[in-house]
Amino acid sequence: MPNITKKYDFLIVGAGFSGAVCAERLATNGYSVLLIDQRPHFGGNAFDQLDEYGVLVHPYGPHIFHTNSERILRYLSNFTDWKFYEHRVLADIDGKRLPIPINRTTINKLYNLDLTEKEVEQFLESKKIHIDQVNTSEDAVLSSVGEDLCDKFFRGYTKKQWSLDLSELSASVASRIPTRFNDDDRYFTDRYQLIPREGYTKLFSRMLENEKIETKLSTSFDQIQQNITWRHLIYTGPIDEYFDYKFGRLEYRSLRFEHSHYTDIEKYQEVGTINYPNEELKYTRVTEFKHITGQKCKGTSIVKEFPQADGDPYYPVPRKRNREIYSMYEELASIQSDVTFVGRLAEYRYYNMDQAVGSALSAVKKILEKIHKN
């Protein structure tokens, strides 16, 4: 018997938010989709599950959905109800646990002061270092909070997270973290800050239940190519890998996760996440999931994050060398008429979850417009 090649309108590589949103939208518009992922589950890094103790955990670190886009929230609400949650993070500094982003409470507790909001603004103004042109993360932090706060909160954490000094990273990394003069201790200030009520995995399962979507897990792009044909490919993996590293390898940072459970305590720490900026400890942060999910159960589960160079790619490394290499891949990608590159790894861009969803929705809109035009 000859091999029968199965035909699909779309092959989508990667079943995280970018791939799943593309699959759902295309299937809803009547197109057949094969969605593959080399992991044994869909949901990408947002995948969640009950651990062996019955605690709902995020195996790949904490995922808190936050957005200012009502359009994106409305779209995802087709697949989940939500639970309100505002994430709070403390930094372990000099034996104290202090709010991050830096705010009035941070300054007063760190320096044993009692400043008003106006006085905090003046205090930080006096600490800033004037820099004519902000090019690096070091420039961004020094020109915002000065040297002492830079060293205490950012320098060590950055070195662990990126294995680079602040001076070697694009200003965009540090610019994402605000400084506040009031006591607002929320990590995010987006209009909508939420957690899927039944978890992310349930959200994804509803998103992908369309009969036009076929999902194959534990399946790589190389494995599947010989057995199927498709009209259009949507690729959400590393763009340099797709082009067989033609212009060299892009840098990514990976993470190792160390999960622990405590049977005899209800809560391990005061808030969802504690950051550890000092370089003596090899992990960057500890997250306790019951703060995030609101789950009521016996015991509690945490995860420590250990940044590393090798392993699954998590974070594009934002520095000049990588921007230059990516621009060459981006130009090559732009002339691929039957391939669309979507998502954090394919676009070599740090996306929050809402941004990944927005990028995928925009990509599908362009694809459909092109199909209808032809």
Which pLDDT score, from 0 to 100, does residue 346 have? Answer: 97
User: What average pLDDT score do residues 119-129 get?
Assistant: 96
Which pLDDT score, from 0 to 100, does residue 373 have? Answer: 80
Domains of the chain: 6-42+208-250+317-373 (3.40.50.720), 89-175 (no CATH)
- Per-residue pLDDT tens over the stretch 130-163: 999 999 999 999 999 999 999 999 999 999 999 9
Counting beta carbons within 10 angstroms of the beta carbon of residue 198, is it exposed (0 to 12), middle (13 to 18) or buried (19 or more)?
middle
β-pairing verdict for 6-13 and 33-36:
parallel
| pLDDT band of 2, cuts 50, 70, 90 | very low
- Per-residue pLDDT tens over the stretch 52-83: 999 999 999 999 999 999 999 999 999 999 99
| pLDDT band of 121, cuts 50, 70, 90 | very high
Distance CA 339, CA 159 (A): 36
Which pLDDT score, from 0 to 100, does residue 1 have? Answer: 37
Q: Which residue has the higher pLDDT, 319 or 30?
A: 30
Query: DSSP string covering 297-332, please?
Result: -SSEEEEEEEEESSSS--EE--SHHHHHHHHHHHHH
User: What average pLDDT score do residues 92-115 get?
Assistant: 96
| pLDDT band of 4, cuts 50, 70, 90 | low
Averaged confidence pLDDT in the chain? 95
Q: What is the pTM of this model?
A: 0.94
Query: What percent of the chain has a predicted confidence (pLDDT) above 90?
Result: 91
- Per-residue pLDDT tens over the stretch 222-272: 999 888 999 999 999 999 999 999 999 999 999 999 999 999 999 999 999
Distance CA 104, CA 118 (A): 10
- Per-residue pLDDT tens over the stretch 288-314: 999 999 999 999 999 999 999 999 999
CB contact set of 278 (below 8 Å; sequence gap of 6+):
92, 156
Query: What percent of the chain has a predicted confidence (pLDDT) above 70?
Result: 99
φ/ψ of residue 321, rounded to 5: -55, -45
Distance CA 45, CA 356 (A): 12
